[in-house]
Amino acid sequence: MSSGDPLAPVRARFPVLAPGHVWLAGAGPGDPGLLTLDALAGLSQAEVVVHDALVDKRVLALASPQARLEFAGKRGGRPSATQADISQRLIELARADRKVLRLKGGDPFVFGRGGEEVLALAAAGVPFRVIPGVTAGLAALAAASIPATLRGVNRAIILAAGHGEDEEFDWAPLARAGQPIVLYMVMRNLERISVAGKLTHNSFMATKRRAAAIGIAEKFPNERRCPVSRKNSRRYRR
């Protein structure tokens, strides 16, 4: 290894993924450049990578060539593994002394149901580690050069799930908080939520980019958006 290798000190301090352990890691919003070093450490050591549908192929390509990739995804509207099945599979793999990486899009604890998996692992006595990732909603804002917070404009930012079991969820109190709302998994419900929360229609910016859709609540209309030119940053798009 040449002394000029910027990654040598990183590799030297990679944490060790032990047999029988599960790392629950966020893969970030898609771009492998937004993967964390610890998630990469997991990918390079895992014998089994249990991933969901939102994990980008370019990220999975960083797994060890010896690793087995297992799809355990969920996708709106399609039949897929139940959450209990997935948790059970993680426990099985750990009990079979595999080195297990559970990889989820974004951050595993932000609308990723990582909490349920961690509860199941804890109940089963399986040692685990949670590795947070860059959450998709905030990354999508950054990709659009829109600051999540800006002095004099907003004091808070609300991350909310646009899809959930509770379709009767009352959006009005969140909207009345007067702070921008970033909606995840919202494309099917955008119109309904917009009406229920009395969010003004043209104050919404919806995008199908990855799993993230962004809603800007009524106190944050277009003219108060950070007027950053995208021209200067566009050259970096991939």
Taking the least distance from each CB to its own copies, the nearer of 28 and 105 is 28
Q: Which residue is catalytic, options 31, 97, 185, 219?
A: 185
Three-class secondary structure assignment of 172-189: HHHHHCCCCEEEECCCCC
Q: Which of 56, 57, 74, 170 is catalytic?
A: 74
Q: Which of residues 119-138 bind its own copies (CB under 8 A)?
A: 119, 121-122, 125-135, 138
222 is an interface residue for its own copies by CB under 8 A: no
Residues 30-49 that bind its own copies (CB under 8 A): 31-38, 40-41, 43-44
The answer to whether residue 198 is catalytic is no
Which residues are registered as beta bridge partners of 205? 214
Task: List the structure tokens of 219.
Answer: 């106190």
Query: Is residue 141 part of the contact set for its own copies (CB under 8 A)?
Result: yes
Among 84, 96, 195, 226, binds its own copies (CB under 8 A): 226
Residue 46: which of 93, 6, 5 has the closest Cα? 93
5 is catalytic: no
Q: Are 179 and 156 in contact (CB under 8 A)?
A: yes
Please tell me the number of Cα atoms within 13 Å of 154 on its side-chain side.
21
Judged by CB under 8 A, does residue 96 bind its own copies? no
- Sign of dihedral through CA atoms 139, 142, 144, 147? positive
| Contacting residue, 75, 82, 149, 221, with its own copies by CB under 8 A | 149
Among residues 53, 62, 196, 205, which is the contact residue for its own copies, using CB under 8 A? Answer: 62
| 116 neighbors 99 (Cβ within 8 angstroms) | no
Q: Do 129 and 14 meet the contact criterion of CB atoms below 8 Å apart?
A: no
CB-nearer residue toward its own copies: 50 or 63 = 63
Among 27, 48, 160, 213, which residue sits at the site for its own copies (rule: CB under 8 A)? 160
Query: Which is catalytic among the residues 31, 38, 52, 198?
Result: 52
Q: Is the Cβ–Cβ distance between 62 and 82 less than 8 Å?
A: no
Catalytic residues: 52, 74, 185
